[in-house]
Chain A
Amino acid sequence: MEELITSLFSSLTLQEVELIISIVNIIIVTASLILFVVFMVYFERKIMGYMHARIGPNRVGPKGIFQSLADTIKLLFKEIIIPKKADKFMFLLAPLLLLIPAIAAWAVVPMNPEFLIADINAGLLYLLALTSFGVYGVILAGWASNSKYAFLGAMRAAAQMVAYEIAMGFALVGVLMAGGSLKLGEIVAAQSGGVENWFFIPLFPLFIVYFISGVAETNRHPFDVAEGEAEIVAGFHVEYSGAAFAIFFLAEYINMALISILTAIFFLGGWESIFSNFSVLEKTFFNFLIEPSIFWLLIKTLFFLFVFIWLRATFPRYRYDQLMTLGWKVLIPITIVWIGVECLMFVMQIGPWNSV
C-alpha cells in the first residue's frame, strides 16, 4: 500500500504517506464496524428467535436480511426529541462520548501481523482506559435526560461498570504476565505454535472472568440492569430517540465486537490457526488451514459474538445485589488467586511460556 501511494503521488513526503495510510485504515475499520453492526443486529434477532422457537425477522427481503437496514433508515429519519428540562448540550454529547471510545479502542487492535492502525507500546493500557471511558457516556446520558428512570439506569451502570472493570483489569494482568508485553501483536506472538500454547489453557479462570466482565462491561444480558426493560423501561437511554438512540445501539454492538475480538486475541491465540501443529497438511491443498490469517481471528470473534447472543437467550437478568456480589466477591477473588497460581507456575517452570 505504501508503494502504491508513493508511486501515485511521488511528491508526498514519508509522513504524509503514513498519514494517508492511517486515514484509509481508519475508514476501513470504521466502515466495516458499522456494516458489522447492521448484520449483527439481524443475526442477533434471528438466532434469538430460533432459540426461542420462533423464526425471527423474515419480512424485509429474503429471510429478512434487510430488516436492520430498514430499522436503520427508520431510526435515522426519526425526530430526535430533546426533553424540555434536559441539558441540551450534555444530552447530545452523551451518545458521542459512548461511541467515540468504542471506535477509538479499535486503533490498537491488530487484525493480522500487518494490519494495525496505531502500533503503540502500551496498547493494553490504552484499551483498558478507553473501555472504562464508556461509563461517562452512560452516566452523562442518564444525568442529562433529567428523568428518574434514566438516572437510576445510569447509577446502576456506573456501579456495575466500575466493579467489573477491576476484575477485567486483573484478568488482563494475568495475560500481561504470560504474554510479557503490552502490545497486542506480541501477546498473540507469544501464543504461537499450536493450541497448547494458547493462554486459555493455563489461564482458564481468567479467560472466563474476562469474558464475563466483558459482558457486564457492555451492559449486555444477563448483566443489563442498566437497561432493565422490565423495571426501568430502557435505563439510561430512555429519553433518546432517532439518530441519538441509534448511536447508543451502535456503541453497544461495537463494544460487543471489541470484547469478542479481544478475548480471541488474549486467550485464543488471535490469528493463529487451530491446526497449526498439523504438519501433515503442509504442501497439500489444505495448507491455508494451518497458516495464521485474519479468518481465524474472525471465526474466533464470531464465536464469542454468538456466545453473547447465546447468553442473552439463555439467562434471566441478575438481581442488582447478586450482580454486585458476583463482581466483588467472586470474580475479583478468583482473578487474584489465579494470578498467584500463575506466579507459582512461573517459579516452578511450568506452563507454555517457558518453552519459548
Chain B
Amino acid sequence: MPNVCYANRPLELCMNIKHLIKTLSMIDLIKGFNVTLKALFRTKVTVQYPEVKTPLSPRFRGKLALMRYDNGEERCIACKLCSAVCPAQAITIESEERNDGTRRTTKYEIDAFKCIYCGFCEQACPVDSIVETNIFEYHMTENHERIQTKEMLLATGDQYKEEISKNRAKDSKYT
C-alpha cells in the first residue's frame, strides 16, 4: 500500500478499496498455492541417469571409431577427406605406400578435445572407414590421453562392430 494519508482524500480511499479487498482476500497468494499444488501431483520426468538412460537415436554421434572389412583389412585408404572436411581440424593423417602397393595410413590421430562430434568425417569417408558410435560415456584421466591413435580407434571399431552395423541398418532407409 502506498504510504499516503487518505483522511482528506475520500476519492483515493474509494479507489483503494479495490486494492484492499484484493490483498485482504489473499487471492493472489491462493493462486500461487494452486500452482505449486498442481506441480506436486505432476508426473516427474527426471531420469535416474546411471540406472535409467534415455533412448538414443541410431544417428547419435558419439565416440569415433575406425572400421575394418570382414577379412580384417582396415578400410581406411588415407584419402584425407575426413581431415580436410573436419571443421575443428581434429584429425591428423600421415600415409605411406604399403608393401602390396596400396596406400595406408601410418598415423591416424583424433584429438578428442578438438572433436565437436559433427559427423562430417563419416559423411566424407568414401569407404565407410571412420564412423561415429553411440558411446557417450568415456573419459580420460591424463591430458595426453585425449589423442586417440589409430590402434585405439580400430580397437573401438572392433569392439562395437555389431552395434554400429545395427544402427546403420536401422538408419539405412533414411539416408
Contact = CB atoms under 8 A, between A and B. Distances in A.
Interface of A: 47, 50-55, 58, 208, 310, 313-315, 325, 329
Nearest to A49: B44
A29 B36 CA distance: 33
Given A53-B44, A54-B44, A55-B44, A315 B29 contact: yes
Q: How many residues of B sit at the interface, in one of the four size bands?
A: 10 to 19
Contacts, number: 32
B15 interface: no
B27 to A, nearest CB: 13
Interface centre among B1, B29, B40, B45 (most CB of A within 10 A): B40
B155 to A, nearest CB: 35
B39 A51 contact: yes
Contact of A314 (B26, B32, B42): B32
Contact of B35 (A55, A314, A329): A314
25 contacts: A50-B39, A50-B44, A51-B37, A51-B40, A52-B39, A53-B39, A53-B42, A53-B44, A53-B45, A54-B46, A55-B44, A55-B46, A58-B48, A208-B26, A310-B36, A310-B37, A314-B29, A314-B32, A314-B33, A314-B35, A314-B36, A315-B29, A315-B32, A325-B1, A329-B1
Nearest to B41: A50
Interface string B15-39: 0000000000010010011011101
Contacts of A52: 39
Nearest to A334: B24
Contacts of B42: 53
Contacts of A313: 36
Nearest to A47: B40
Contacts of B33: 310, 314
Nearest to A316: B32
B141 to A, nearest CB: 25
Nearest to A315: B32
A59 B32 CA distance: 30
A315 B45 CA distance: 24
Given A55-B46, A314-B35, A50 B40 contact: yes
A55 B37 CA distance: 15
Q: Which 4 pairs across A and B sit closest by C-beta, in order of nearness?
A: A314-B36, A51-B36, A55-B46, A314-B32
A255 B48 CA distance: 35
A208 B25 CA distance: 11
Interface centre among B36, B39, B45, B48 (most CB of A within 10 A): B36
A52 B40 CA distance: 8
A50 B26 CA distance: 24
B65 to A, nearest CB: 34
A310 B32 CA distance: 10
Contacts of A55: 44, 46
B33 to A, nearest CB: 6
A343 to B, nearest CB: 21
A310 B39 CA distance: 11
Interface in B34-82: 35-37, 39-40, 42, 44-46, 48
A210 to B, nearest CB: 15
B16 to A, nearest CB: 14
A313 B40 CA distance: 10
Contacts of A50: 39-40, 44
Contacts of B32: 314-315
A346 to B, nearest CB: 24
A50 B1 CA distance: 34
Contacts of A47: 40
Contacts of B1: 325, 329
A49 to B, nearest CB: 8
Contacts of B40: 47, 50-51
Contacts of A54: 44, 46
